[in-house]
Copies of this chain bind each other. A is one copy, B any other.
Amino acid sequence: MNISEVAIKAGLSVKTVRYYADIALVPEAERSAAGYRTYDEPALKKLIFAKRAREFGFSISECQELLSLYQDEERTSANVKVIAQRRLEEIIQKQKELESLRKELAHLVSSCNGDDRPNCPIIDYLG
């Protein structure tokens, strides 16, 4: 597989596939005689894994940890769980922040007339 094919299959952009190798998130691809990157199934699987982990919001370095656990036959599920649990807490924390913002902003928005006069509770609140 060339890079565009693997990118499509992994659901990533070509740029991102190259980037992931640049930063060593995944190993450098093999090269054809002309210097083109070539990918096999295991390489594709790592890219898919990285993609999915990123979608959960794991940082690149967390993805690195997860990928190495993925390839480690002697991993412990405890190690994996710690990382996932930590991310879960982050998500919950972020949800709390957003919910608090949403309530406040929704209140302001609903109390704003939205007409052609300058008086505005949103501006008042911020000022």
Contacts and interface: CB of A to CB of B under 8 A. Distances in A.
Interface in A43-57: 45, 48-49, 52-53, 55-57
Interface string A29-62: 0000000000000000100110011011100000
A75 interface: yes
Main secondary structure of the interface of A (DSSP, over half): helix
A107 B66 CA distance: 18
Contact of A88 (B92, B95, B102, B125): B102
A112 B112 CA distance: 48
A99 B94 CA distance: 10
A82 B112 CA distance: 10
Interface residues of A, number: 52
Interface of A: 45, 48-49, 52-53, 55-57, 66, 69-70, 72-78, 80-82, 84-85, 87-88, 91-92, 94-95, 98-99, 101-102, 104-106, 108-109, 112-120, 122-123, 125-127
